[in-house]
Amino acid sequence: MPNILLEEIEYKIDQTSFGKWRRYGYIDGTSYHEFASHARILGLPLVHYTYGRNPETGRRKCAKGIIAVGRFACGVIAIGQASLGLIAIGQLAVGIILGLGQLTTGVRAVGQVALGLVFGLGQFATGYVAIGEFAYGKYVLAQLGSGKFIWTMQRTDWEGLEFTPIVDDEGKVRIRTLNFSDGLPELYRIYLKGVAASDVEHQIINLVKAIEYVSATVIRLASHDAMRQRLLSHKALAPDAKFLDDLIMLVEDQRIFKKDSEALRLTVNTCCDTNQLASHAPPVLKTLSSLSEASDAKTKKTALDELSRCLSSTRNQLVHAKANYTLTGNECPYEQLPILAGCVNLAATQVIRWFAGLPIESRVF
């Protein structure tokens, strides 16, 4: 077999409106392909692609361009088995701004092994913020982690949540200071347990539990307000038998909230905003998902009642064995559970903010 490295290589050349292809076929059926665009920036082709062994060197040729694609690639955006660039994607990806791959580095890195400077996400991850099965950084969310502020199934560092970024309607990032006064750390723990759950069913169960944590406070305040209104009546100055009977009936009426479903309904109606929830509602919540800002107060209340019934029934269905549970017709279909999880997540944050805004002496915990 002749040594083609000592011979002049005859490529098959194809010119297109975008660039030039060079191709070479080996006698064993393998081939070499290379494409370089006509457009160039700073002397580099806008797109450079290589495949196979270069017949001139017998080696893989590194693709070099603004967008470089090949077994080995180097460019602004580099895609290859081994890649180097501002944005690098590959099995081994060394990115300056972003690395995405099996083993990757960069200011932000996402991969099986992600060595990030600011952010790392992967099975093993490092970064100022690191998320993974094993992670190291300042703010760490992991199964097994090391850092200043760590969130695992066994440990939660609340000090690391002193500030949380909020994106407003204009897309601007605002900083919201978190409240760690009495009653809130436990509520945050329940909420984060739901958010961090990998299974959508466990997400819903724990997020509903976070809402129910606030129910005792909502019920007490509602009962106090109802009692206060009666006692502010002029009849309270000279109470007769009917007035006293009405007070007894008022107390009896409050007993309905000992039922979980009614407590959940009152909490959702008190703390939640339908304008925000409507766009996140699953199709099964027909009234809520069809709401608009022009909807009247009665329709909005009906939508919140619908949401509370769905949350109560769906939660009960998820926590009980199928043989021991009777369907109510308000359960969320299984295929819509991920959408419901997003909706109840938003509802839980609204409930938490309502609870955090109360004076400590008004909270039940």
**Per-residue model confidence as pLDDT tens for the chain (365 residues):** 455 555 677 888 899 999 999 998 888 888 999 999 999 999 999 999 999 998 888 889 999 999 999 999 999 999 999 999 999 999 999 999 999 999 999 999 999 999 999 999 999 999 999 999 899 998 888 888 888 888 776 665 555 554 444 445 565 545 455 666 788 888 888 888 888 888 899 999 999 999 999 998 998 888 878 777 777 877 777 887 887 777 677 667 666 666 778 889 999 999 999 988 999 999 999 999 999 888 999 999 999 999 999 999 999 999 886 667 788 899 999 999 999 999 999 999 999 989 988 888 888 87
Q: Rounded CA gap, 171 and 274, in Å?
A: 21
Pair type for strands 47-51 and 63-151: parallel
Tokens of 258: 């000992």
Tokens of 256: 């309905």
Enter the pTM of the model. 0.54
Q: Where are the domains of the chain?
A: 184-362
The number of beta carbons lying within 10 Å of the beta carbon of residue 223 is 15
Q: Rounded CA gap, 39 and 23, in Å?
A: 20
Tokens of 80: 């290859």
pLDDT attached to residue 175: 46
Q: Rounded CA gap, 236 and 227, in Å?
A: 11
pLDDT attached to residue 154: 63
- Buried b / exposed e over 274-297, threshold 16 CB at 10 Å, is beebbebbbebbebbbebeeebee
- Which stretches of 109-199 are DSSP H helices? 184-196
* Cα end-to-end span (Å), the chain: 84
Q: Is residue 262 within 8 Å of 256, Cβ to Cβ? A: yes
Q: Is residue 344 within 8 Å of 167, Cβ to Cβ? A: no
